[in-house]
Each structure stands twice: as structure tokens, then as C-alpha cells.
Amino acid sequence: MSLSEHRHKKALGQHFLADTEVVERIIRAIDPKPGERLVEIGPGAGAMTFPLLRRHGALTVIEFDRDLIAPLRAAAEGVGALEIVHRDVLQVDLTALAGEGRIRLVGNLPYNISSPILFHALEHAGSIIDMHFMLQKEVVDRMAAAPGGKDYGRLSVMLQAYCRVEALFVVPPDAFRPPPKVDSAIVRVLPRAAGEIAVVDRARFAAVVKAAFGQRRKTLRNALSGVADAAAMQAVGIDPGARAEQLAVADFVRLANSLDADGTAASVQ
């Protein structure tokens, strides 16, 4: 079976990019340089894979669908050096994959597991130079959202504490085979240098953010009950009567850091 004959699998969230102009625009955004290690998540039918391989000469891809492995390998012959990692990306140790260097991640992510993939990449951000992903537009909106709006939430805060997020451009449904029912968008995510990250205890920070947005209609006094009391919030200049979406990323960092320092918070289950 060739790549062109592969039938998309709905259970895997497969929507293969088919618009060559969009592909070229993505590659220009990535702008790969000699010597860089590129890793593509979910190459699918190779719409980005082979233009990247022709331009860069070498590429590592992570693909879960076993029916795509042999066709990808066959199509890469004479094009460039294609390394295929046949695994679920959530089970791939990206730090180990990077080895002594750092990698650049790219991919048209399966929309049904895009958030878990983003959080998985975040765990390995120290080994990643940058990420260029195709995602559902509403996910990109949430990733890049500022405080105060409906899109601002746990994903916004967790990503922006560790990375700079830049929404690049929208991709319409008719650029895919089969077309999804939603607009997509390209996002650039740049992990911050260690010195830029103000979070002291990552687990404590994650727990505070998770609790705050777990009941986002409630005030912080109620949402963070058992995690931080009103006095702890007031001590760092946060109004216990506010709601989670009103706080900036720096506010969450400041609160979590204070709780880590004085040990007043209970663990969030």
C-alpha cells in the first residue's frame, strides 16, 4: 500500500494536510537550518514530511499507525534520511530522543489528544528548541489567550509560564483530507530559558492552577479551598474574591511560590 492509498482512521483523529501552499507556508515558518534535529509528530501521509526531508536532508518522525510505517519508509528512499519511531508519542521520552542536543518539534497533531501531547512536550521543554504545531484553532486560541477572556484557562497558564506562545495563521478545513469540521491554526511555542522561568516548584504550581480552573465559576477563596487560604492569597496581593481567569500568569506563579516556601498548602488530588 502506498501513502496515497491509506484510508484515514477516525479513531486516531487523522486529518491529512493536502494543500501544498499551506505546507510551504508552514515550512517557511519553521525555517530549518543545517545541523538542527527535526522531529515530526504524526507524519500521516507525509504532506510535511517529504518537503521537510527534501529541504533538510534528515528527519525523525514519530508515528503510531503501523499501517503507515512501511509506506513512509518506502517513500523516503532517495529523498533523505528518515528515522521512524513507531510509538505513541505520549510514551516517547523526548529528552532521551534529543540526546546531548536539543530538538525542534513539528507536526499536525491529532486533535483528540492535542492537549496531552502539549503537556507531554512541556515535561521535556529543556530538550526542545521550539515547536510548530497544527492544532484546532480553538486550542491555539486557548494556548495564546490573555487573562480576562473565556479562552484563558489552565492550558494558557501552564504553557505561558514555561514558554512563549505565538499564534501564526489559520488553516481552513478544505486544506485537509478528509476536511475536519473546525478551523485549524499554526502555533509557534518557544520554551523559555531556565533563567526566565520563575516557578520554584513545578508540581505545586501545577496543583494550584489545576484547582483554580477546576471550578472556574467559583471565587478563588472557594476554588482553592484546601490549597491556599484567603490570608495566603492576600499576602501576595491576590483578591480571594477574584476568579481564576482574572489572574495573570505571574499571579499564579507568585502564589504557588509563596505556598512552596511556607508549606501551608495541601496536596491537590
Binding residues for S-adenosyl-L-methionine: 15, 17, 42, 63, 88, 108
8 CB-side CA count, 13 A = 18
Which residues sit in the known binding site? Answer: 15, 17, 42, 63, 88, 108
Instruction: Please calculate the CA angle 32-83-111 and round it to the nearest 5 degrees.
Output: 70
